[in-house]
Structure formats: C-alpha cells, structure tokens
C-alpha cells in the first residue's frame, strides 16, 4: 500500500497569516497518463470531509482561492493564505493512484 505522511501534526495560525502543510507519498503518484492522483480535504469538526484540491493543484468547485496546492511526484504542499476562523479542522492528503486509496494521518489547524 502507498503510505502517505503528513507534517506537521498540528499548526496554530494567527488569522490573516498563512499556513503550509506537507504531504509525502511512499511512491510517485504520477500515472503514465500524466495525471497525478493527489487530493486534499478539509474535515471541519463533526462534518464530512470536503474536497479542496485535486490533481495536486486544481481547486474544487466553490472552494476559496486562498487554498492552493503544489508539488510533484512524491512531495506535495497545501498552502492556506490569509487564514480565517472557518479554516479550522483537520486537513488530509489522499492518493487515488491505486487501491487501496490511502489517506495521510491528518494535520490539525487551530487558530491562535
């Protein structure tokens, strides 16, 4: 199985500042078709996961452009600009290259 490793475990951010979350996969997520199967989700407290970004950097419909994704191969980053209180929750990276799909262990974002 592909292992997904996220860091940090948690991050505390002052509103208006930025935050970055890293995700590393144990295998390249680049398929021979040119697509990299890496997505990011936010799970707010007591809610379902919400898709933020897919294919490394594509913003999901309705998601604020304060969220951005970058990276390639095995190393990926989610950046949240101008953090707001509504950004509180746990962020997960996920690989969809092959089954079983696997999730990172999550990064908890808190507001200072």
Partner 1 sequence: EVQLQQSGPEVGRPGSSVKISCKASGYTFTDYVMNWVKQSPGQGLEWIGWIDPEYGSTDYAEKFKKKATLTADTSSNTAYIQLSSLTSEDTATYFCARDTMGITLDYWGQGVMVTVSS
Q: Footprint of partner 1 on this chain (CB under 8 A)?
A: 35, 37, 39, 43, 48-51, 54-55, 60, 92, 94, 96, 99-106
Q: Which one, 25 or 39, has the nearer CB to partner 1? A: 39
**CB nearer to partner 1: pick between 25 and 82:** 25
Q: Which of 10, 13, 106, 4 is nearest to 66 (CA)?
A: 13
Q: Is the peptide bond before 100 cis (omega within 30 degrees of 0)?
A: yes
* Cα 80 from Cα 10, distance rounded (Å): 14
Minimum Å distance from CB 90 to partner 1? 8
- As a whole number of angstroms, the distance between CA 15 and CA 29 comes to 33
To partner 1, the closest distance from the beta carbon of 105 in angstroms equals 5
Minimum CB distance to partner 1 smaller for 16 or for 34: 34
User: How far is residue 19's CA from residue 103's CA, in Å, rounded to a whole number?
Assistant: 20
As measured in angstroms, the least distance from the Cβ of 20 to partner 1 is 20
Q: Whose CA is closest to 43, among 111, 105, 112?
A: 105
Q: What minimum distance in Å lies between the beta carbon of 67 and partner 1?
A: 14
Query: Measured from the CB atom, is 47 or 112 closer to partner 1?
Result: 47
Q: What is the DSSP letter of 69?
A: E
């Amino acid at each position: 199985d592909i292992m997904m490793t996220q860091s940090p475990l948690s991050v505390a951010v002052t509103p208006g500042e930025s935050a970055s979350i890293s995700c590393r996969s144990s295998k390249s997520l680049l398929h021979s078709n040119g697509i990299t199967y890496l997505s990011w989700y936010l799970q707010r407290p007591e809610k379902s996961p919400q898709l933020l970004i897919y294919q490394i950097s594509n913003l999901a419909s309705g998601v604020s452009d304060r969220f951005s994704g970058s990276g390639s191969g095995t190393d990926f980053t989610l950046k949240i600009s101008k953090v707001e209180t509504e950004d509180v929750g746990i962020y997960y990276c996920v690989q969809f290259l092959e089954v079983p799909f696997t999730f990172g262990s999550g990064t908890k974002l808190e507001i200072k």
